[in-house]
Structure formats: C-alpha cells, structure tokens
Structure 1
Amino acid sequence: MAAASRELLALLQQFTVETDRYVDTVSVRDSLHRTDLNALGIMMGAARAGATVTPGMLRHALNLSSPATTALIDRLDEAGHVRRSRSSVDRRQVHLEMTEKALETGSRLFIPLAREVEQALSGFAPEELELFSTMMRKVTDATVNARRQASEDAPE
C-alpha cells in the first residue's frame, strides 16, 4: 500500500473517531442515545428517498433485536420524535414518521457540524469536490461490503 493511501486511511479513521465524538457530545447534551440519533438519521434518509419506515426496517438497518427495536421506538415516541401510525393497506403494519420536534432537534444538533464541514470544503474547486464525492461513495460502499462480509463470517 502506498504512503498516500496509508495516510488517507489514517485520516478517514481520525474523521470517524471525531464524528463519533461529536455525536457523543451532542447526544449527551440532548439526552439522546446514539442509537436514537442513528434511527433518526435513517428516518431522514428514508424520507428524502420517499420510503416508508417500519420497525422492521429500523431493526434491520440498526442490527437490533425486536425487543431493542421496540424500546428504541418507545423512547423516540415518548420524547416526541416519532409518530406511529397503521398502514392503510395492512393494518398490522406500523409506519413511523418523524415529528417536527425531531426535525428541529436534528437541525439544532447537526447544523453546526454541517456549517463547519461546508466551510472546510469551500476552498475546493467543483472538480475536486466531484472527485472527493466519488471517492467517498466508493469508500462507503467498501465499508458496507466489509460489514456484510464480517456479518456473514460471524458465528451464530
């Protein structure tokens, strides 16, 4: 592996550690569990994609047991971050929607980070940003593939 690749991997690792520290700091401040924030992030992404979020979807995306998923949804519901509703097609199916409070909380927590990152990226040319976006997509895909492989290799 080339020195530049090793340095980039080290920087990505440092970035991951720092984003984890940021999430820990803001989640403690707002009395939210890390899993709660991850769930809200998944729900935001689903909303952008026009997808319906169900407890099963969250369970799978967060790799939680059914009881842990229920506890998560109960916490988010009690905190006023999600609303449960029944599917109009299949009344047995529960749909989850983020509330305005969740959107406001998410904005308050993550806009400062987004502002700082946007400022850090502001000095790059559009071509450089496009290259960086391509690299990050590939690195993210590689991370997902490694997680899947680790999951398949895990003892049952």
Structure 2
Amino acid sequence: MSTEMPAIPDAAGPPPLVSLLQEFSLEANRYADSAGARNDMHRTDLNALSVIMQHTAKNQVVTPGVLRKELHLSSPATTALIDRLDKSGHVVRERQGTDRRQVQLRMTPKAYRDGGAMFLPLARHMGAAMEEFTPAELEIATRFLHAMIDATVRAGEEAAAPPPDSQ
C-alpha cells in the first residue's frame, strides 16, 4: 500500500481573487453554522428564513413551493422544515386572498429578533472592516460582488442542467 500523495495536476489553480472568494464563502458558512448551532437551528433553517426575508422585502408571496424550489428540497423535507420553523416560533402559515388553499409563509417578530441577535457580531465586524475603505472602493467592491453572484448563479444553472449528449 503506497503512502504517497496523489499527484497534483499542473493547473495553476484559481486566480487569487477567486481563492479569496472561496475562503470567504467557507468562513461565512462556518459562521452561519456556529450561530445557528447556538440557537438550535440548522443551516437549512437559516437559509429558509433568508429566502423568506428576501422575497418579503420584494413584496413577493412565499409559499412552501417557493421555498422548496429555492432550497432544492423534496416536498416532505420542505414540510419538515416549515414544521420546525413553525414550532420554533420563527414562521407562521397563513391563508390569504381569494384562494384560501394557498399557504403563505411569514416570518414572525421572533425570527427577526433572533436573526438580528445571531448575525449582529458578523454585522459589527464587517461594518468595522468596511470603514477602512472609501465609498468609491466600496462601490467597486459592490459591483464586483454582484457580478460574482450572477456568475455563480449562471454556473449553478449550468451544473444543474443535464449534459448536452443526454438530451
């Protein structure tokens, strides 16, 4: 049995800025895991609240189907997730409008309080770090991050698509 490490391909690897984005993503995930664990919440719970908050900010209705699609969950997993969030007091199910069959999900004041408390340390440290940059630098960083988010969404869509020869 060989104890040698496999050979590393000759590829130079990602550009330094892409490596930094990967490192930031990893650290943000670690923070979310730690903050969630302190509050008995899994990352999926936090992601669900984030999806609901984003849609609510755009005055969009959030249904279990929206949550299922956004988080790439099965219907049973989505039901279990909503049940957990309901039981913890973070989400309520409401039936509104003329079609009373459609369930809408709303975050509770408790969810906003708990989320604020969980992410306050991160916001405080990030705010302090941002003070070291000029408004012009922050504008460039903002444009850059928007472009990276868009690129990541496109790459995710490409990765989820069936291979061209299987169609």
User: TM-score per shorter chain, which class?
Assistant: over 0.9
Give the match for residue 70 of structure 1: 79
SS of residue paired to 1:153: coil
For each residue in 1:61-117, what CA deviation from the matched residue of structure 2 results, as whole angstroms up to 9, or x when unmatched? 000010000000000000000011112221110001100110011000112101111
Give the match for residue 120 of structure 2: 111
- What residue identity is the alignment partner of 1:128? E
- Identical columns (%): 49
**Where does structure 1 differ by over 2 angstroms across 4 or more consecutive aligned residues?**
none
Q: Among 10, 19, 25, which residue is 1:10 paired with? A: 19
Q: Among 12, 19, 24, which residue is 2:33 paired with? A: 24
What is the 5 A alignment of 1:7-156? Answer: 7-153=16-162
Q: State TM-score, norm by structure 1.
A: 0.93
Shift of 1:52: 1.3
Give the match for residue 3 of structure 2: none
Shift of 1:138: 0.3
Which ranges of structure 1 fall in alignment gaps of 5 or more residues? none
Shift of 1:28: 0.8
Which ranges of structure 2 fall in alignment gaps of 5 or more residues? 1-11
**How many angstroms apart in 1 are the aligned matches of 2:127 and 2:59?**
26
- Larger radius of gyration, structure 1 or 2? 2
Q: State TM-score, norm by structure 2.
A: 0.87
| Count of aligned positions | 152
**How many angstroms apart in 1 are the aligned matches of 2:152 and 2:129?**
24
RMSD over aligned CA atoms reads: 1.5
Shift of 1:33: 1.0
